[in-house]
A and B are shown apart, each in its own frame.
Chain A
Amino acid sequence: MPSPGFTLAQIIADDGSPRLVLAGSLTLADGGALWQQLRRALAQQSIAVCDVSAVSRLDGGAAALLQALAVERGRAGAPLRWLGASGEVGRMLALYDCARSGSCAPVEPPASTLLGDVGDFAHGAWRTTQAILAFLGDLVVGVLAALRRPRTVHTGELGVLFERAGADGLPIVMLINFLVGAILGLQGAIQLHRFGGDQFLANLVGLSVVRELGPLMTAILVTGRSGAAYAAELGTMTVNEEVDALRTLGQDPQRFLVFPRVLTLLCVVPLLTVVGDLLGSVGGLFVAMTYLDQPMVVYLQSLQQAVSLGDVGTGLLKSFVFGGTIALVSCQRGLATRGGADGVGRATTSAVVVVLFALVVLDGVFTWVFSLLDW
């Protein structure tokens, strides 16, 4: 490590008092050494003067360090004076003298406590819930108004939105549902085979996929793809003041941005769920044929007997509500974005987390209600 471009010495002045002498070039590049050496030397309270007349160069960073140490000494009741600070060195020390800007008070970050953080979190969760419910209310009012005047709804984007959420998402929905069906089938087949219940595999896979896993997995995938995209897109538009611009142009952001997205997911999620249900069942079929050596026709007949149209209906009803929830929450989170790029990131994360939580809660509620109604 190169030696610093400055020297620091302690001498005894003519009046018998100890004094520090700084000489050479004081720059930020040697800031670490300057800070440590000077601090060590100033630990002696008796030193009240530092001679800087032999300093040939002083940059802003070094001047800031010197003045900070002087302030520190002043606070400790042992002020430090710079001797021989003239010319450029004097100007630099004056520029970084905190007294020049009127305040040398330390700047403390806002205090944070565990209890405060818990309170902030709870308050934030309550505010988010309120905001989503208020947004839902606005949406209902908006839908009623839009039904009276359908031309006020912006439908120009619908084609693109359907393509992005639906057609573009189809491959991943098909793949994941097939794999989920196959994994569920394999786990089930292992257990059923032990008890000679191979013929019930179609019941297990078919009912699980159609009633629960198909709608839920599809909704989770749509949340990750479209929900996150909506939150990020609307969030960016909000921080770029595009949403405010829409308002000044007489466009209601709900009708212009939210309605098309809600409508899209209300239609697309059930459609994707139907495809997901089919592929999940095919996954079970694949396991039945390869692991259990079951003929295709046996599996399909069992599936037909096990899964009724009512089962498919309950799954589709769920997926319809899931689609609306994903769009609603994602758009609300996006439009509630504050700040810049980090705000968009937070809004997107919040959208995904809140939607996933809402999906699981809704799924539980549906299952409970369907069991009460014996559906």
Chain B
Amino acid sequence: MASVLSVRDLAVGYGKEPLLEEISFEVPRGEVFAILGGSGCGKSTLLRTLVGLQEPLAGRVHFRGIGGPDKAMTPPRFGVLFQSAALLGSWTLLQNVLLPLRKWTDLPLDAATVVALARLRLVGLDQAAHQLPAEVSGGMKKRAGIARALALDPPILFLDEPSAGLDPVTAAGLDELIVTLARTLGVTIVLVSHELPSILRTTDQCIMLDRAAGGIIARGAPRELAERSPDPRVQAFFHRTTLPPS
């Protein structure tokens, strides 16, 4: 299947010091692609670079057929869910989802409200549409964040730790939603996570990053990596064990 996201020889980091180098991968359309790795390995930094919030130190990110990281006054071509959901606190969930619709479509208010409510219904939050973020749980915030990211029907969704900090039932519901988005809507999903059950349930392909190695140490289907990778760091990650002393 044709890839919609192509990353070539990317180097990311803060200042001039690279955290990760020579990052290259392709993400096929309609797949769930995970960026894995331990805490502090640069997953979120890589994600910020992919969505254009941070300049790469080297290399390039190419979105095939849907333009690059958006910096001009054109509608954003991808949706992003931040780790904390990043909803506007003084706006209701409905107003949060309406924000991109009012900005980037010619829909009259009643039609935009219909679409925003449909997005919230999709994530099971239509009955909480008029509540403020502070009045809903962490899982609901994450789901509302996904509804907002989905508002403009983006072909790619970037999700930063979508199920982190959620109870297993809520996390499973979110995983189901991610799979539905990919399989039914054909949305390509790039997610950053270190939640093993979620990764195994949702992800088609993944790359694993390692801070000490400064780049990718494994790539493939998560289940295959868990069962067959000879790399002790990959095995330690998937089997929740500590690394043997080097």
- Chain A residues at the B interface, C-beta cutoff of 8 Å: 27-29, 31-33, 35-36, 59-61, 63-65, 67-68, 88, 91-92, 95-96, 98, 101, 103, 107-110, 338-343, 345
Point out the residues of chain A lying under 8 angstroms from B152, CB to CB.
28, 61
Chain A residue numbers with a CB within 8 Å of B94 are 107
Instruction: State in angstroms the CA–CA spacing of A338 and B90 once bound together.
Output: 12
Contact B153 A60 (CB under 8 A): yes
Q: Which residues of A contact B150 (CB under 8 A)?
A: 60
B107 near A32 with CB under 8 A, answer: yes
B117 contacts chain A at the CB level, 8 A cutoff: yes
Task: Knowing A32-B106, A60-B153, A64-B118, say if A338 contacts B134 (CB, 8 Å).
Answer: yes
A27 and B153 contacting across the interface, CB-CB below 8 Å: yes
- The interface of chain B, by Cβ under 8 A from chain A, is 89-90, 92, 94, 101, 105-108, 111, 114-115, 117-119, 121-122, 124, 126-127, 129-130, 132-134, 150-153, 180, 184-186
Contacts of A343 in B (CB 8 A): 89, 134
- In the bound assembly, the distance between CA atoms of A342 and B106 in angstroms comes to 29
Question: Would A31 and B105 be within 8 Å (CB), given that A59-B153, A64-B119 are in contact?
Answer: yes
B105 and A64 form a contact (CB under 8 A): no
Q: Are B118 and A68 in contact (CB under 8 A)?
A: yes
Among B106, B111, B133, point to the contact of A65 (Cβ < 8 A): B111
Query: Are A61's CB and B130's CB within 8 A?
Result: no
Residues of A contacting B133 in the complex (Cβ-Cβ under 8 angstroms): 339-340
Besides the known contacts A31-B111, A63-B118, A107-B130, 14 further A-B residue pairs in the complex with CB atoms under 8 A apart: A28-B152, A35-B107, A60-B119, A68-B111, A68-B114, A91-B184, A92-B184, A95-B180, A95-B184, A107-B127, A338-B134, A341-B89, A343-B89, A345-B90
A31 CA / B152 CA spacing, docked (Å): 11
- Neighbouring B residues of A340 by C-beta, 8 Å: 89, 133-134
A16 to B130, CA, bound (A): 45
Q: Find chain B residues with CB under 8 A from A27 CB.
A: 153
Q: What is the CA–CA distance of A88 and B121 in the complex, to the nearest angstrom?
A: 20
Beyond A96-B122, A101-B126, A107-B127, whether A35 also contacts B111 by CB under 8 A is yes
Docked-complex contact A65 and B126, CB < 8 angstroms:
no
**Given A60-B185, A64-B115, A67-B118, A32 and B105 contact (CB-CB distance below 8 Å):** yes
